[in-house]
Structure formats: C-alpha cells, structure tokens
Amino acid sequence: MQTITTVAELRRALADAHRADKRVGLVPTMGYLHDGHLALIEASRAQCDVTVVSIFVNPTQFGPREDLSTYPRDFQRDEKLCRDAGVTIVFAPVSQEIYPAQFETFVEPGELAKPLCGAFRPGHFRGVATVVCKLFNMVQPDVAFFGQKDFQQCAVVRRMAIDLNLPIEIVTVQTVREADRLAMSSRNRYLSEEDRGQALAISRGLFAAAEAFGLGERNVDKLVAIAKRHLETIDQLQYLELVDGDTLKPASSPLHRPAALCVAAYVGSTRLIDNVILQPTP
C-alpha cells in the first residue's frame, strides 16, 4: 500500500493503472475509519482492480459552529486499517493541497441539497460537492463508493456526476450498524454511555416504522408518527421526514414509490443522522 499526500504523486501512482484500463475504485472518507468504511473498501475491492481511500477532513462542509476542530482523527490507526483491508493507495492530503491560496471555484448543488440536512446546514453540500468533484478529478475513478447512512449526500453526488457528465458509477453501500443497531459513525465516539443508550431511540423509531411498512402501512403521516413516538426521549429532534427516494421531496400517501425515512437528532451535543429505505413491492 502507498500513502500519498500530493495530487501530482497520486496521478503518477495511478498512471499505469489508467493506461492498463484497470478498474479504479474510490472510497472518499474523512478518516477515523470504522466498519462502515471497511464495508465500502470491501465493496471496492470486490469490483475494482485498484482501491483508493481518501482521508481528508474537508473544512468547507463544516459550518462556523460545527465540530471541524474536534472531529476525531487517528491517521496511524486509519492507515493500518487500510493496509489490513487491502487498500492500494491512501490519499491523505493537507488542506492546502485541496484548497490552495486564491481558491475560489465551488460546485453549487441544486434542489436535492435544500431539504433535510441542507435546511439546517447551509453551505454543507456545496462543500461536499466541491471536494468530491475535486477528488473525482484527481483520482479519475471508474466507481466511487458511499454509505447509505449519508442518503442525501449520495443523492447530491449522484446528481452531480450526471449533471457534470462525470464518467463515474456511484455505488451506495448499505448502512453498517453496531450490534445494538446504532448506525456506525465516526461521531459515535463523542457519545457517553448514557448518550449512547439514548441514541438507540433513533434506530428503534426507524425500524418500528419499517416494520409497520412491511406489514402493509402506506400512510405517510402514520409511518412518521410511529417513528416519532420512539424519538420522544431524544434531546433534540432536528427533523424526521419521509421523502421520495429520488427527488427528496415529501412523500405522498399512499406510499407507492421508493422512499427514505430520514432523521437528524442531537444526543447531548452530538448530531447523528440515520435513515431506512422503504421499498414498495410492485
């Protein structure tokens, strides 16, 4: 495995693979890797000849009062996990490599970036789309792998790839969960034992609604209400919305198209997101 910190070195390292028409996979991360990231790496290794993992805490997707300075970092641990997982290249640039002096060009996503997290984190998806587009241009992958937990991010990135004619397949990998069903997240390390117990209400609510859906419930308001009952113990529920799986607009009753029940909530000072996909049978 190679660990690379500059774009020039990255392009040199990938030149032979591109010339040989090898299939290159990219797993973009902000580091502090967990089993969810390792599932993305596993998916890339299964589908690609070369797997590149980027580790970069992207400052442009954090708001002024968010946790950029305290976001968990442990590069040596991440590097070992990547090596053990069979990663080909770890790309770990410093901020100046991605955003050099006088940088001023950003990717501005459209309607998909406005609801859900976009309504509460202005500029977040602008930062996400910009850094992902830059990583796509640097690595030139055939496939890029993202986790379903970041459902809206996946939708924004997929739309960007289509709209900007980027020849990259976007693969979404199912959310990986702890044994107690808490969605894996680098931010879980912020949770105290008491916080973690409270956080389990998120997945309980989502899975209760998914169970009702599986038993035939198709009324949007009722499905949301089922989930919300479990979330009453959460410190702060930021949003709980059932949205169309393609447009992210509010889903309508009776539910007959793929939809996502999405939640963002604060447990203590930690913001957590999660979702379940509701897929009506034909």
pLDDT in tens, 242-251: 999 999 999 9
Give the angle subtended at the CA of 151 by the CAs of 219 and 258, to the nearest 5°: 35
Average pLDDT over residues 157-178: 98
Contacts of 138 (CB under 8 A, 6+ apart): 7, 10, 11, 91
CA-to-CA dists, residue 86 to 49, 50, 172, 220, 260, angstroms: 11, 10, 20, 43, 33
Average pLDDT over residues 40-56: 98
Q: How far is CA 36 from the centre of its chain?
A: 10
Q: Which residues are catalytic?
A: 37
Using one digit for the tens of pLDDT, what is the confidence trace for 57-89? 999 999 998 999 999 999 999 999 999 999 999
User: How many other C-beta atoms are found inside a 10 Å radius of the C-beta of residue 165?
Assistant: 6
The string of DSSP codes covering 53-113 is EEE---GGGS-TTSSTTTS---HHHHHHHHHHHT-SEEE---HHHHS-TT--------GGG
pLDDT at 65: 87
Expressed in percent and rounded to 5, the helix, strand and coil fractions of the chain are 45, 20, 35
What mean pLDDT value characterizes the chain? 97
User: Which residue reads 């993992």 in tokens?
Assistant: 53
CA-to-CA dists, residue 184 to 17, 68, 70, 119, 168, angstroms: 32, 19, 18, 23, 26
Using one digit for the tens of pLDDT, what is the confidence trace for 206-229? 999 999 999 999 999 999 999 999
Task: Using the predicted structure, report yes or no on whether residue 282 has a pLDDT greater than 80.
Answer: no
pTM of the model: 0.96
The answer to whether 212 touches 226, Cβ cutoff 8 Å, is yes
Residue type, 64: P
